[in-house]
């Protein structure tokens, strides 16, 4: 089996991101050195615990309250020992999101109105045949 590190999201609950980290192709001596960053600044309190029964590492990332803001906030997860990007997760919140959704909804309504008009025109044109 090739050397491969696999990070899987388990859940995001009560402000803590939970994941499972597996390293395929290495013996049991491998230990991760995880760093999580937001806007290139490290996130404190990241916890990585080995689970010998499941043969994985449990990763817990507490999301600092001061990092939650309008828009999309992306957290990047890396293994410093392997110098490898493992994954990321994002939190989307605030007015920016609401405005984006409203704009998208307006565009969908306009397209639906256009399709309704075209369909009605088609029905009128073909009903005379």
pLDDT tens-digit series, residues 32-88: 999 999 998 999 999 999 998 988 999 999 999 999 988 889 999 999 988 889 999
Residue 47 in tokens = 């916890």
**Which DSSP string do the residues of 72-103 spell out, in sequence order?**
EEEEEEEETTTTEEEEEEEEEESHHHHHHHHH
pLDDT mean over 4-32: 88
pLDDT tens-digit series, residues 103-114: 778 778 888 988
Query: 1 pLDDT exceeds 60?
Result: no
Q: Which residues contact 25 (CB under 8 A, 6 or more apart)?
A: 1, 2, 3, 4
The pLDDT score that the predictor gives to residue 2 is 43
At residue 54, φ and ψ (nearest 5 deg) are -85, -5
pLDDT band per the 50, 70, 90 thresholds, residue 96? low
Q: Are 77 and 42 in contact (CB under 8 A)?
A: no
Q: How far apart are CA 58 and CA 48, in angstroms?
A: 6
Query: 17 pLDDT exceeds 80?
Result: yes
The pLDDT score that the predictor gives to residue 60 is 98
Residue 28 DSSP code = T
More confident residue, 6 or 93: 6
Query: 128 pLDDT exceeds 50?
Result: yes
What residue ranges do the domains of the chain occupy? 4-92, 94-129
H or E element in which residue 49 lies? strand 47-51
- CATH class for the region spanning 4-92: mainly beta
Bridge-partner residues for 60, per DSSP?
A: 18, 47
Q: What distance lies between CA 41 and its chain's CA centroid?
A: 18
């Amino acid at each position: 089996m090739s050397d491969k590190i696999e990070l899987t999201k388990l859940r995001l609950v009560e402000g803590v991101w939970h994941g499972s980290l597996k390293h395929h192709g290495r013996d049991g001596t491998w230990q991760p050195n995880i760093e999580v960053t937001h806007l290139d600044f490290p996130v404190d309190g990241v916890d990585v615990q080995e689970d010998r029964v499941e043969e994985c590492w449990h990763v817990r990332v507490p999301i600092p309250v001061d990092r939650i803001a309008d828009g999309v906030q992306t957290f990047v997860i890396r293994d410093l020992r392997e110098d490898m990007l493992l994954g990321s997760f994002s939190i989307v919140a605030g007015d920016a999101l609401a405005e984006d959704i409203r704009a998208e909804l307006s565009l969908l309504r306009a397209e639906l109105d256009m399709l309704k008009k075209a369909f009605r025109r088609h029905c009128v044109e073909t009903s005379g045949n």
